[in-house]
Every structure is written in C-alpha cells, then in structure tokens.
Amino acid sequence: MAHPTIQIDLLLHFAEDKRLYRAFDHIIAVSSCSLLVVPVQHIRGSFAGVLDGCPVPWEEVLDLIEAEGSDSNRLSDIAYIWPHLDPLYALYEQMHFERISLAGNTSNNIIRVSHPCGLRFAMTEPLGDFHEKN
C-alpha cells in the first residue's frame, strides 16, 4: 500500500508558535500539550521555513517515534481528539489510538494516535488549555 503524502502547510495547524522543526528525519510540530511527528519522506511542499533542531527534549520525540503499542493500551476512537486532528481526517481509516508513556513518564496519561506511514501525534490527557484554545 502506498503511504500518503501530507502537505507541509497542514502541519502548521499543530504548531502553537507556527514553527516547524526537522530532527530524526521527521518534521515536528509542538503545542503546549501535544506533539506531532511525520517522516520527511511523507511531506510535500517547501521546507524553506523549517528549522533544524528538536524543540522538545529529544527523548520525548524518540519515544513517540519508536514506542511500540500494546493491545492492552489500545483505545477505541476518542471523539474529543478529532477536532484537533481535523486537517488529517483523510487518514482516519488507518489511525490507531493508544495510551503510552513518554521519556520516563510512567503515568501512562499520553494518548498517541499513529498511522502506518509513521505519523505520530501525542496529546496529554486531560486536554486542559489546548482543548479550550482550539
């Protein structure tokens, strides 16, 4: 199956400061309680405004990219996340939702949405300010 390509401008929706970063062969967008990573090979558009570097602790990004899901942590569709993922709605059919821990956080309060192309979105639970702002 061919994996989708995602227009780079769509990722700005996930960047609170409207900046995108490139690290670990991924484009990274950050908000106060969410993190989106997409492999560069699945991005189309100009990388001219993309900053080199990792905007959050590198352990968090690598954990999000490399974390293996567990069926015991698998969740059904979480309706309150979809307003935040709306620009990626075309990928919905293959998205998986699960609880994970990032960078030593053992509370398991992170919701990860993943797609087979390598796209990963993590959001803390509860949504708090992010939910109210968007």
pLDDT digits (tens, 9 = 90+) for 79-114: 656 666 777 777 767 887 777 766 665 555 678 888
Q: Are 22 and 111 in contact (CB under 8 A)?
A: no
Give me the DSSP letters along 20-80: -EEETTEEEEEETTEEEEEEGGGEES--TTPEES-SS-HHHHHHHHHPPP-GGGEE---GG
pLDDT at res. 122: 87
Name the residue with higher pLDDT: 60 or 11: 11
Q: Which two tokens stand for residue 90?
A: 């075309």
Residue 63 belongs to a domain: yes
Residue 60 belongs to a domain: yes
pLDDT at res. 114: 85
> Is the full-model pTM beyond 0.85?
no
- Residues 32-77 have pLDDT tens digits of 888 999 999 999 999 999 999 999 988 888 888 887 655 545 555 5
Predicted confidence (pLDDT) at residue 128 exceeds the cutoff of 60: no
Residue 1 belongs to a domain: no
Name the residue with higher pLDDT: 79 or 28: 28
Structural domain of 67: 6-133
Residue 110 belongs to a domain: yes
Q: Which two tokens stand for residue 87?
A: 């620009």
Rounded CA separation 88/103 (Å)? 26
pLDDT at res. 30: 94
Residue 33's CB is within 10 A of a number of other CB atoms, namely 19
Residue 91 belongs to a domain: yes
Residue 85 belongs to a domain: yes
Residue 14 belongs to a domain: yes
pLDDT at res. 76: 56
pLDDT at res. 126: 55
pLDDT at res. 134: 40
What are the angstrom distances between the C-alpha of 133 and each of 40, 54, 114, 120, 128? 28, 24, 23, 22, 9
pLDDT at res. 111: 80
pLDDT at res. 91: 77
Rounded CA separation 7/27 (Å)? 11
How many folded domains does the chain comprise? 1
